[in-house]
Amino acid sequence: MRHFISQSLIMAELQLQHEVEPQLLNGDDLNEEREDADTSESLKKKRRKKKRNKASAPDGEEGENSAGKKKKKKKKKKGLKGQTDPPSVPICELYPNGDFPKGEECEYPPSKDGSRFILSQFAPVQSFCKKENGCVPYLHYKYLYNEETLTLWYACLPPRRSAAWRTTSEEKRALDMANEEMWSDFRQAAEAHRQVRSYVRSWIQPGMTMIDICEKLEDCSRRLIKENGLKAGLAFPTGCSINHCAAHYTPNAGDPTVLRYDDVCKIDFGTHINGRIIDCAFTVTFNPKYDRLLEAVRDATNTGIKFAGIDVRLCDVGETIQEVMESYEVEIDGKTYQGNMRNLNGHSIGQYRIHSGKTVPIVKGGEATRMEEGEAYAIETFGSTGRGAVHDDMECSHYMKNFNVGHVPIRLPRAKHLLNVINENFGTLAFCRRWLDRLGESKYLMALKNLCDLGIIDPYPPLCDIKGSYTAQYEHTILLRPTYKEVVSRGDDY
């Protein structure tokens, strides 16, 4: 009996244990679930906190990883840093995506068709514009009456076609995009030119020597263009011609010339990327009595730019420039002057070739050659209070290798060495004696003269009007793109 009772008690205890254990296990599971819920809630809270911090914090105080990524994205979107003062950051670093600022884009002027005048006879004249006469209305016309035959003739200029179609033509757009790399090189060089000349205007003043002005300008230009052999650099020496000297003057070593308050100084310098040259110039004065002279020359240059375009005759550009220049009366020290230079010209620009064959006159006459699509031109005008014609004068400083020269035997070893230096550093771009000094060359004048005598190097001495006169200059580089005419060197200054 006791045995039975004990067995039944043991069985009851075991049963109770079985019933309790599942309950305990279920309780542990619940606790674990509660702990999991707590941890997930705490994680959610932490995430919410982070989001709040990110929203409230400025861009620079975000989390390390996200901040880095966001900053990088912003830099890519902007694509440019700020320029320093004085300028020292190269243009290619300011615009790392290669999207350089464009110049002023202009529509081409309307083109003329056919001959200069067309003579037609009508009776009556009032029916000129009627279709039954089979006539086309012309924009410009004159009445001509022949007294012998008692007939009335109608002389009319050919109709002018708008060039607006170029901006929408798919073919012209495709041609424009095909040359985008070339346009980009021009724009990079032009942006360097704009920033350098803005910097020069901030510090140039009377009392400075011309050597200091040129070297300070060229140092800045070399930094911004990021000079790299023949791939990028200065296109020609800095011209700083004063008063009656109109062009091609830069000081040689030891030149003591100082800029004075009453001087008229032409600053003409060039930059290039891969031989795509920007040729651009402006005039600096301190005395306001020259303002009218500068205004006349600037207006003439802008008129020449406006009239230039594809299929425009070069002589017609010169005629319009002369008309504008002669419309101004310039009074200086009680004397009145009117006129511009007769024997200075603008010119076409080729790769590594500052004067590539075509000349743009600034007076009536000249060649009837037409401008062509894809060409680049330097449109420049000069005004003078002198005779209006220049001649070679003063000590020579500008030199350039003849672009078309073939192999010429050279006997002098020093001349051979000098030619190697010129080929390596300048190629067919212009250079000056100061630049040879900068490369460490010395006692080279005899060798340079020998190269000039052989026709390998061409000297370009200063061009001067009569002494006591004043000359002014403004110049821009234009690109005759298939779609637009781009004044690539245009800036806020001029």
**pLDDT tens-digit map of 259-277:** 999 999 999 999 999 999 9
Nearest-5° Cα angle at 215, 282 to 352: 65
Amino acid present at 319: E
Host H or E run for residue 11: helix 2-56
Please check the confidence at residue 42 and state whether its pLDDT lies above 90. Answer: no
Summarize pLDDT for 411-446 with one digit per residue, the tens: 999 999 999 999 999 999 999 999 999 999 999 999
Summarize pLDDT for 4-32 with one digit per residue, the tens: 444 444 455 545 444 444 443 444 444 44
State mean pLDDT over 276-287: 98
Q: Which of 68-77, 247-256, 459-468 bottoms out in mean pLDDT, i.e. has the lowest?
A: 68-77
pLDDT of amino acid 6: 46
Distances from the Cα of 230 to the Cα of 196, 233, 351, 427, 429, angstroms: 20, 7, 11, 7, 9
C-alpha dihedral, 17 to 21 to 23 to 27, nearest 10°: 150
pLDDT of amino acid 110: 86
CA distance 265 to 252: 17
pLDDT of amino acid 367: 87
State mean pLDDT over 205-209: 98
Beta-sheet pairing, 264-273 with 232-242 = antiparallel
User: Read out DSSP for 207-266?
Assistant: T-BHHHHHHHHHHHHHHHHT-BTTTEEEEEEEEEEETTEEE---PPTT---B--TT-EEE
pLDDT of amino acid 45: 59
Q: Is the peptide bond before 124 cis (omega within 30 degrees of 0)?
A: yes
Whether the Cβ atoms of residue 154 and residue 141 lie closer than 8 Å to each other: yes
Please check the confidence at residue 117 and state whether its pLDDT lies above 50. Answer: no
Summarize pLDDT for 49-82 with one digit per residue, the tens: 555 654 554 444 444 444 444 444 444 444 447 8
- The SS3 call for residue 337 is strand
Whether the Cβ atoms of residue 175 and residue 485 lie closer than 8 Å to each other: no
Please check the confidence at residue 296 and state whether its pLDDT lies above 70. Answer: yes
Q: What percent of the chain has pLDDT over 90?
A: 70
Distances from the Cα of 213 to the Cα of 202, 208, 216, 264, 469, angstroms: 12, 7, 5, 14, 23
State mean pLDDT over 110-119: 51
Q: What percent of the chain has pLDDT over 70?
A: 73
CA distance 366 to 207: 41
pLDDT of amino acid 50: 57
Q: Write down the pTM of the prediction.
A: 0.77
pLDDT of amino acid 159: 53
| Start-to-end C-alpha separation, the chain | 126
Please check the confidence at residue 178 and state whether its pLDDT lies above 70. Answer: yes
Mean of all residue pLDDT scores within the chain = 83
Summarize pLDDT for 238-248 with one digit per residue, the tens: 999 999 999 99
pLDDT of amino acid 162: 78
Please check the confidence at residue 451 and state whether its pLDDT lies above 80. Answer: yes
State mean pLDDT over 459-486: 97
Q: Is the peptide bond before 86 cis (omega within 30 degrees of 0)?
A: yes
Higher model confidence: residue 40 or residue 26? 40
